[in-house]
Structure formats: structure tokens, C-alpha cells
Amino acid sequence: MPVFRVMLSGNKIVLRTDRGEATHGFVRNEYVYALTSEVAIEKAKLKAMRRIAENEAIVALADTPLELTVDEVEANVPFWKLTVNESFIFFPHEGETKA
């Protein structure tokens, strides 16, 4: 079964820091086993949502459902990538902050 890299992005995540809370977007790579790219995308989205839920610094906006966008899908990446836990890359969501 091939290993896929799925790059996901999202926005309107509230990130809690020592300076308060602010709205951010993010990108993240997820690595999954799958038979097809469609299955890889679904698995990657579930993995990312689980990681978001487990991260105490991330607060999803209750009034807006989180939408994950698939930016890239790459098949046949090395299997050892499954052991990699890359971080979220956060960036400020333009024009919006939450106090």
C-alpha cells in the first residue's frame, strides 16, 4: 500500500498564546497509508482534525466550522515519513483578531 503526503490548509483557527488569542490560518503535511488519493485525503483530514482537537493552544471558532483545504497530494513517498510528526505552520489570518 502506498504512502501519501497530503498538504492541508485551514483558516480561522484561534491560537492561544501568552499574548492572548488571535485568529490564524495554518498549513500541515499529513502522511498516511492508502490505496487511492481520495482515501488518503479523507484519512489525512481525520488525522489533522484529531491533532487540532488534542492541541490545547488551538481553539476552533464555534460559529464557523473548520474547513480543511487540500493543497497537494503526493503518492509513493518513503514509508519512514509515517513516523514524522511535522508541526503546524501558523500564520496570522488577515484583518481578524479575537480579544
pLDDT digits (tens, 9 = 90+) for 37-85: 999 999 999 999 999 888 888 877 656 677 899 999 999 999 999 998 8
pTM above 0.75, yes or no: yes
pLDDT on residue 31? 96
Structural domain contains residue 97: no
What is the span of the domain harbouring residue 48? 3-92
Q: Is residue 51 part of a domain?
A: yes
Domain count, the chain: 1
Find the mean pLDDT for residues 87-94.
85
pLDDT at 62: 57
Cβ-Cβ contacts under 8 Å for 35 (sequence gap 6 or more): 1, 2
CB 31 within 8 A of CB 39: no
Does the structure show a pLDDT above 70 at 7? yes
Q: Is residue 37 part of a domain?
A: yes
In a domain, 98, yes or no: no
- Residue 16, pLDDT score: 84
Q: Is residue 85 part of a domain?
A: yes
Would residue 99 count as lying in a domain?
A: no
